[in-house]
Amino acid sequence: MGYTSMFDERLIFLDVEGEELKELFEEIAKRLQQQGFVNEQYLEGLLAREQAFPTGLITQYLNIGLPHSEPAYVEKPFIAIVRLKNEVKMKQMGDSQEMQVKDLFFLGIKEPKEQVGLLQSLMALFMDEGFVKAFIETQEVQAIYQLVTQYTK
């Protein structure tokens, strides 16, 4: 699939706290910026994008969010995996239906033409019951890293 290298053990954040999406975005943007993956306008871009085009998806086995900004705010391509302690409210892509989400994949896309393949690979992952079950059960950073890289090879 070719997106394996976008995952990074340093960008797997489990048990993140936050009452609402905005608070979560601020926290993740801070961490991504500290590690040099995004620039200082990223947070603003992330919030604006999510408001205009929500990125939640109610998939068969798991509700997920795929927040991302315009490529201009991304310094290095990445996929950050974020699991929240408690669910937050977000809206579904397309129909803006309200949904609860605990698992988010922040997509750092630098090349717009890569988006299609990336989205396709992720969707294939989330339609794969075996992957999703294992993903939900896995609670450690390294094990999650191994799982996602194994499945996106």
Partner 1 sequence: MKRRLIVACGSGVATSQTIASKIAGMLEDDGIDFPVEAVDYKSIQNELPSTGIYVYVAQPDDEVLEKAAELGVHVFAGIPFLTGMGMDTIYEEIKELIG
Q: Which residues bind partner 1 (CB under 8 A)?
A: 49, 52-53, 55, 57-60, 68, 92-96, 112, 115-116, 118-120, 123, 126-127
Choice between 16 and 21, CB closer to partner 1: 21
From start to end of the chain, where are the E strands?
A: 7-16, 56-58, 63-65, 78-91, 98-108
- As measured in angstroms, the least distance from the Cβ of 46 to partner 1 is 13
Choice between 7 and 126, CB closer to partner 1: 126
CA angle at residue 43 from 139 to 40, to 5 degrees?
115
- As measured in angstroms, the least distance from the Cβ of 123 to partner 1 is 5
Decide: residue 5, CB within 10 A, 0-12 exposed, 13-18 middle, 19+ buried: exposed
Choice between 12 and 66, CB closer to partner 1: 66
